[in-house]
Amino acid sequence: MNCREVEEKAPLYLSGELDASDRASFEGHLAGCQSCAAEVAAAFAMDTRVREASSELPDASRVQSAVRRRIVERRRRSWWQAAAVAAALVAAFLLYKPSPAARVLTDAAKDHAAEVTQHQPRRWRTSAQDIAALAARYQLTDLNALAPEGYRLEHAKMCGLDHQPALHLVYTNGSQEYSVYVRSRLWSDNGVHASGSTVSYQNDRVAIIATGNSSAECLKFAEAAARVL
């Protein structure tokens, strides 16, 4: 090591960060160079003076108390915030009640999934006469007109949607089956309502609820119902 390297590496030497070989090389230079040895000794002596003059530690109890107070306050606030959120969630859970009409649409989608998609055994009416008798309850005469072009009526039966009787009609286009429910009015305003892939249409007298795989097809059923009713 030369004088410039010693000057450069002195901070690492004095902080004990030089590895064994660098330290040996550093001290080897000091042994043969009075000027560098004096510089390093002066730096060491001054570090010692600064360290000794700074050995006294201030009283930090006031700061510590203030931090503890802030932490306690923060924890309390966090607890209240968590409690408020939990209370709001519980209240929302307890107070949430879907509207009866929305429940009917949900029921229709579930009923279609069970009875049509999963083919759970049901006593379907297949004879045109039986089905016409059921449709007469809702003053419906032309059930084929309730479906868009390309669909034919497969079978029908009475069922319940949100504890109210409904006529369940199943239409097919050869590959897909769609359910159409005829029931008493659902909404206060007439027209088309949609929820997921379930679409309803109602006039002053009855509501038609179409549900199945595609919401676009269901909308076609609702449009057909709007023309007929």
Partner 1 sequence: MPEAARLLRFARRLSRDTSSAEDLVQETLYKAWRSFRQFEEGSSARAWVFRILVNTFYSQGRRGAGPVPVREPVENPSVLERLEIEQALGTLAGEHRAVMLLSVVEGFTCREIADILAIPIGTVMSRISRARQALREQLREKAIR
92 interacts with partner 1 by CB under 8 A: no
Q: Could you write out the three-class secondary structure of 51-63? A: HHHCCCCCCCHHH
8 interacts with partner 1 by CB under 8 A: yes
41 interacts with partner 1 by CB under 8 A: no
10 interacts with partner 1 by CB under 8 A: yes
| Minimum distance from residue 13 beta carbon to partner 1 (Å) | 10
84 interacts with partner 1 by CB under 8 A: no
15 interacts with partner 1 by CB under 8 A: yes
**Which amino acid is located at 72 in the chain?**
V
Backbone angles phi, psi at 5, to 5 degrees: -65, -40
Helix axes 34-53, 20-32, angle to 10 degrees: 110
Tell me if 178 sits within 8 A of 217, measured CB to CB.
yes
Smaller CB distance to partner 1: residue 12 or 194?
12
What distance in Å separates the CA atoms of residue 153 and residue 22, rounded to the nearest whole number?
95
Tell me if 190 sits within 8 A of 203, measured CB to CB.
yes
Which of 20, 57, 92, 216 is in the footprint of partner 1 by CB under 8 A?
A: 57
Which of 60, 92, 94, 95 is in the footprint of partner 1 by CB under 8 A?
A: 60
Residue 134 CA to its chain's centroid (Å): 43
**Which amino acid is located at 207 in the chain?**
A
| Minimum distance from residue 79 beta carbon to partner 1 (Å) | 16
Smaller CB distance to partner 1: residue 62 or 97?
62
63 interacts with partner 1 by CB under 8 A: yes
DSSP 108-148: HHHHHIIIIIS------B-SHHHHHHHHHTTT---SGGGS-
| Minimum distance from residue 35 beta carbon to partner 1 (Å) | 15
Which range touches partner 1 (CB under 8 A), out of 11-19, 103-111, 115-123, 204-212? 11-19
Could you list the residues that contact partner 1 (CB under 8 A)?
7-12, 15-17, 42-43, 46-47, 49-54, 56-60, 62-64, 66-67, 70-71, 74
